[in-house]
Amino acid sequence: MTARAAGYIGRFAPSPTGPLHSGSLVAALASWLDARAHGGLWLVRLEDVDFTRTRPGADRIIVQQLAQCGLQPDQPPLYQSQRSAQYQQALDALVQRQQAYPCACSRADILAELARKGRLPARGHEAVYPGTCRSGLRGRTPRSWRLRLPEDGGRPLRWTDRRLGEQAQVLSQEVGDFVLRRADGAWAYQLAVVVDDAAQGVTDVVRGEDLASSTARQIALQRALGLPTPRYLHTPLVCDASGRKLSKHEGAGAFVPGRHSVQQALAVLGLQVQGQTVAELLQRAVAAWRQRWVRVP
């Protein structure tokens, strides 16, 4: 059976803001293992839409580091910076159906409006867009574009994660109409990821747990664009001594791609396999992953 016949396409989608580190290797490895365990395709997509954070050359370093860990994509990597026309097309389609609208609010405007309504976010929480520009700009200059969320009447959008189980988020109350194109012209991650997952035929998204909170937004956007929803599996995060998610900055220092880092990443994924070489480790890890995560029909 060919990979396509198996009906599985997975991907690893790093933002090239710096080299890979032990946390991002866990997500890369999990997505690769799941693709191999299903006999599917594994793609790499470089998410370089945020030009304020992209570091020149980081893309090549990441691809090289992945190869040093035995992870070779089945197709040449896709670069989001080359996909503006597709994102524009998606935005145009949404605007035409009045599912997206221009917004004139700066962050300060949003916070002022939330303060006026007594709805300032609690510490560590995102500001929920109060809908100021939903019914028009009233002569103000447009800055960004937002998705017009469908009326959910306070009902949660529900989805199932293969590892975390049932998930639910009331987008209207917890997020609000979110940005699709930023004021600086950059395409928002949420739009780019949804357009590209669909364009690449991705059936299974396997990525770090920090992105679980974006999934309901992505499903809402898939529905607005008439695109299919993939299956999701969010992997454990690598934390520092104080329990915070390892950032690229902190994690990169001691990271040496190769057998040792692969073994460590496998341990984070709960796979205690041994091996003398990267290839041996990966082969055993695919078998262990299959047993744990692949449902035999």
Regarding 15 and contact with ligand GLU (CB under 6 A), the answer is: yes
- Residue that is written with structure tokens 């004021």 in the block: 183
Which residues face 79 on adjacent strands? 46
Contact 168, 176 (CB under 8 A): no
> What is the distance between the alpha carbons of residues 61 and 273, in angstroms, rounded to a whole number?
27
- Please name the amino acid found at residue 8: Y
Q: Is 16 in the site for ligand GLU (CB under 6 A)?
A: no
Q: Which is nearer to ligand GLU, 212 or 278 (CB)?
A: 212
Binding piece for ligand GLU, criterion CB under 6 A, among 11-19, 100-108, 145-153, 286-294: 11-19
Q: Which of 69, 193, 212, 238 binds ligand GLU (CB under 6 A)?
A: 193
Report yes or no: 259 and 277 within 8 Å, Cβ to Cβ: yes
Compute the radius of gyration of the chain from its Cα atoms.
20
- The C-alpha atoms of residue 278 and residue 263 are separated, in whole angstroms, by 8
Q: Minimum distance between the CB of residue 14 and ligand GLU, rounded to whole angstroms? A: 5
Q: Contact letters (x/-) for ligand GLU, 208-247, by CB under 6 A?
A: ---x------------------------------------
Specify the stretch interacting with ligand GLU by CB under 6 A; choose among 2-10, 13-21, 219-227, 284-292. Answer: 13-21
Closest CB 207 distance from ligand GLU, rounded Å: 4
- Report d(CA 88, CA 185) in Å as an integer: 11
- Provide, rounded to whole angstroms, the least separation between the CB of residue 239 and ligand GLU: 16
* Residue with smaller CB distance to ligand GLU, 13 or 286: 13
Of residues 234, 206, 289, 202, the one with CA closest to residue 9: 202
**Which residue in 55, 42, 144 sits closest to 101, CA to CA?**
144
Residue nearer to ligand GLU on the CB measure, 26 or 103: 26
Q: Which is nearer to ligand GLU, 37 or 194 (CB)?
A: 194
Interacting residues with ligand GLU between 24 and 63 (CB under 6 A): 47
Q: Which of 8, 9, 13, 221 binds ligand GLU (CB under 6 A)?
A: 13
Which stretch, 12-20, 110-118, 138-146, 250-258, contacts ligand GLU (CB under 6 A)?
A: 12-20
Residue closer to ligand GLU by CB (options 17, 283) is 17
Ordered alpha helix ranges (H), the chain: 3-6, 22-37, 58-68, 84-96, 107-116, 171-174, 189-199, 215-225, 248-252, 259-268, 278-293
Q: List CB contacts of 253: < 8 A, sequence separation 6 or more.
A: none
Nearer to ligand GLU, 212 or 286 (CB): 212
Q: Where are the alpha helices (DSSP H) in 238-295?
A: 248-252, 259-268, 278-293
Would you count residue 207 as binding ligand GLU (CB under 6 A)?
yes
Strand partners, 204: 10, 231
Q: Tokens standing for 197?
A: 């997952």
User: Binding-site residue total for ligand GLU (CB under 6 A)?
Assistant: 7
Residues that bind ligand GLU (CB under 6 A): 13-15, 47, 193, 207, 211
